Amino acid sequence: MGRPVTAGAEEGLDTVKASPLVPVPIPDRVAALIGSCMPERVLMAEMEADCAVREMELLRQPLRGAQAADRERLLSAVARANKVLAAYNPRLMILPGSGY
């Protein structure tokens, strides 16, 4: 009758590879539902880290004087937030080079 469906490896086809995840905006109601499942201190730490990272992206290179001090302040805010996030779930931490 017909051929059985195979995964393609026997036929010499390339295997399927997962592509990198693309950030997709989520609706506010979904974000609120996710947030309601987390302790408030974790939500606050997540927002603090997010704001600090976004502010750091606005700093121009090379850093001099006040900008260097601002960067240090922002890095310490991320470190404080990461302590709270790591205690709740280590995968929530913001790491260098994470593409955040």
Rg of the chain over all Cα atoms, to the nearest angstrom:
21
Asked if pLDDT for residue 88 goes beyond 90, the answer is yes
> How many residues are recorded in the chain?
100
The type of residue at 88 is Y
The per-residue pLDDT for range 23-68, each reduced to its tens digit, is 788 899 998 898 888 899 999 999 999 899 889 888 878 878 888 8
From residue 91, alpha-carbon distances to 2, 14, 65, 100 in Å are 47, 32, 34, 13
Cβ-contact 50, 82 below 8 angstroms: no
Q: What percent of the chain has pLDDT over 70?
A: 75
Asked if pLDDT for residue 73 goes beyond 90, the answer is yes
Predicted TM-score (pTM) of this structure: 0.65
